[in-house]
């Protein structure tokens, strides 16, 4: 498991945030098309059948699959960086970090200006705590020349 210092996580946050935003947009677009196609299916069932432009439906399905594929690729790219997506709907990310011989998670949520919280692996989002001096000290020691 890749780990990040606070400074490293902050420095890649703009890139990861951009990837996350695009993944979220693609997921939302796919869900909108899926909802549209499900509504059409319900109308067909309720009316006992109706004339449908099959070509148009196929195009919408293809577009939905394209959005799903793009979202998956973006999520995979974030994962390859070593950042964990905890909730794609709210844009919740965790950056593994080693502090005092323990792996904890630096926690960031879409809309936050910077990474300002952390939690243990077990406590999750509900256990979020403000970044404290241990994280800043760790980052400072990594930036000092040897």
Alpha helices in the chain (DSSP H): 6-47, 54-81, 133-143
Residue 114 DSSP symbol: S
Asked if pLDDT for residue 19 goes beyond 60, the answer is yes
Q: 140: pLDDT confidence band, cut at 50, 70 and 90? A: low
Answer positive or negative: Cα dihedral of 22, 25, 31, 34: negative
| Contacts of residue 76, Cβ cutoff 8 Å, sequence gap at least 6 | none
Token pair for 79: 């994962």
Asked if pLDDT for residue 144 goes beyond 70, the answer is no
User: What digits encode the pLDDT tens for the residues 41-82?
Assistant: 888 878 887 777 789 899 999 999 999 999 999 999 999 999
- The pLDDT, as a whole number, for residue 138 is 58
């Amino acid at each position: 498991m890749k780990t990040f210092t606070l400074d490293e996580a902050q420095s890649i946050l703009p890139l990861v945030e951009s990837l996350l935003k695009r993944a979220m947009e693609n997921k939302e677009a796919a869900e909108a098309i899926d909802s549209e196609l499900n509504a059409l299916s319900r109308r067909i069932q309720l009316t006992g059948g109706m004339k449908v432009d099959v070509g148009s439906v196929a195009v919408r399905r293809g577009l939905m699959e394209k959005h799903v594929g793009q979202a998956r690729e973006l999520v995979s790219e974030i994962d390859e960086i070593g950042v964990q997506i905890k909730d794609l709907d709210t844009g919740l990310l965790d950056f593994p970090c080693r502090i005092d011989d323990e792996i904890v998670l630096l926690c960031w949520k879409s809309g936050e200006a910077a990474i300002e919280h952390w939690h243990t692996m077990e406590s999750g989002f509900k256990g979020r705590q403000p970044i404290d001096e241990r994280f800043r000290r760790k980052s400072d020691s990594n930036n000092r020349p040897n």
